[in-house]
Amino acid sequence: MFEFPVPRPQCLVMTGYPNSRPALIQLVNSFTKNVGLMVCAHVRTVTRRPNLKELSQEHVRCQRWLNKKRIKAFYTHVFADNLRHGAQFLMQAVGLGRLKPNTLVMGFKNNWSDGDMREVEIYINTIHDAFDLQFGVAILRLQDGLDISHIPGQDELVSSHEKPPVESKEMVVTVSLSKDPEFDCPSKITSNQSSPLIMIDSKSPLSLTDQRLLENSQQFKKKQGKGTIDVWWLFDDGGLTLLIPFLLTNRNKWGDCRIRVFIGGKINRIDHDRRAMATLLSRFRIDFSDIHVLGDINTKPKKHSKLSFKELIEPYRLKEDDMEQEAAERQKAQEPWRITDNELELYRAKSNRQIRLNELLKEHSSMAKLIVMSMPLARKGTVSSALYMCWLETLSKELPPLLLVRGNHQSVLTFYS
């Protein structure tokens, strides 16, 4: 038997304060603990000069919180004018030698359509930068969002101010002066605003939305029970999409879950493709329960699904046919995220593919504990940020927890022969 050593997932996780997105931390910890590296990263934007003593104390508190929660991770922060620049600093500077991240993990920007589209441009360009720096990328989406920092009564590790007296009956609010630009808060707080870290009487009633968000934020902390992890392996990116579910099922929390693999194929070759995939998985010693070959993956989506996508992109179109060429060019220069008519026509087939994949996901994986799926790519400088964001939104909407993954094409699977 020959075994070829390969790199493990070494994750740089854009968490903000570590208690702000517990679901993101708990899931990544499940597949990195004892086998890989996890760094909780926080990009901070401030308008005043930071107090170094406060920063040091805050760093100690955050690391202590991770240790208390038995999460094997490091915490680090960086100051930058936006998320993209901060992520660039972190991807280049964090780690040493083999203890260096190779995968950027972020939360999905749930509130992207409510905020400033310049923030979407920053978010998408952060993904492009990761690929340019030879990083893999993983994006976790929960339908209710990930960020719970606005919910009262949570772990107050992050404020540099003193906590209010326990016996106080008044509503006491402490707001950190720093900004938190990670992007998955389901509320209408945008990344240009300070992310308020509220300390309040925990007896205050929560809204139904916050109750559901708080409950779902702890779903990866508990044992998952019997169910499936559905792997939609649509591209060979080095095997990261397969490796993560394999590592998860080796943990007690996920041990009762079975791996189901979905791949694209042709109708007249379904049996052949299934046998070939089964052979490949057995050579990598990945246990699986089923392999589904989707022969209808390239069929046209339903009319109502296409209409929904059309309504989604409508506010972001440039509509250059309705204006003079000079005016259109000027608006595109000012708002590069706008979708041109030529771009929409050029990538119509790829847009239809995302719509169709969402239909298939709802059909086959609506009851999965977790979906791990190959993330679609957009050509940098050719596909606008708005169109790419609409692809990700369309692909991942109305589904169980979904992890979009794209490796850096460096093999991460161990081959046995």
CATH code (residue 65): 3.40.50
Amino acid at 27: L
- The set of residues, in sequence order, having a beta carbon less than 8 Å from that of 321 and lying 6+ positions away, is 341
Per 3-state DSSP, the chain is made up of helix, strand and coil in percentages (nearest 5) of 35, 15, 45
* 118 assigned to some structural domain: yes
E strands within 191-277?
227-232, 257-264
Domain span at 275? 227-302+343-404
What pLDDT, on the 0 to 100 scale, is given for residue 119?
A: 93
Query: Within 10 A of 342 (CB to CB), how many other CB atoms are there?
Result: 10
Q: Do residues 86 and 80 lie in contact, with contact meaning Cβ atoms separated by under 8 Å? A: yes
* 188 assigned to some structural domain: yes
Q: In this structure, are 187 and 241 located in the same domain?
A: no
* 414 assigned to some structural domain: no
Split into its structural domains, the chain has a count of 2
* 104 assigned to some structural domain: yes
* 335 assigned to some structural domain: no
Q: In this structure, are 201 and 56 located in the same domain?
A: yes
* 310 assigned to some structural domain: no
Assign residue 267 a region: left if phi > 0, alpha if psi is -120 to 50, beta otherwise?
A: alpha
Digits of tens for pLDDT over the chain (417 positions)?
334 344 578 999 999 999 899 999 999 999 998 888 999 999 988 767 777 888 888 899 999 999 999 999 999 999 898 999 999 999 999 988 888 999 999 999 988 988 889 999 999 999 999 999 999 999 999 998 898 888 876 665 644 443 434 333 333 333 343 444 444 444 333 333 334 443 434 456 778 888 888 888 889 988 888 999 999 998 877 788 888 998 999 888 998 899 999 988 777 777 877 788 788 777 777 777 788 888 888 889 999 999 999 999 999 999 887 788 888 888 888 889 999 989 999 999 999 999 999 999 999 999 999 999 999 988 888 899 999 999 999 999 999 999 999 987 665 554 444
Q: In this structure, are 233 and 283 located in the same domain?
A: yes
Q: What is the pLDDT of residues 205-233, one digit of tens each?
A: 778 888 888 888 889 988 888 999 999 99
Q: In this structure, are 148 and 195 located in the same domain?
A: yes
Q: In this structure, are 264 and 286 located in the same domain?
A: yes
Of 216, 244, 273, the residue at which a domain comes to its end is 216
Q: In this structure, are 56 and 180 located in the same domain?
A: yes
Q: In this structure, are 211 and 236 located in the same domain?
A: no
Of 165, 182, 216, the residue at which a domain comes to its end is 216
Q: In this structure, are 238 and 376 located in the same domain?
A: yes
Q: In this structure, are 188 and 233 located in the same domain?
A: no
* 44 assigned to some structural domain: yes
* 158 assigned to some structural domain: yes
Of 216, 249, 264, the residue at which a domain comes to its end is 216
Q: In this structure, are 204 and 234 located in the same domain?
A: no
CA distance 260 to 271: 16
Q: In this structure, are 282 and 376 located in the same domain?
A: yes
Q: In this structure, are 249 and 211 located in the same domain?
A: no
**Mean predicted lDDT score pLDDT of the chain:** 82
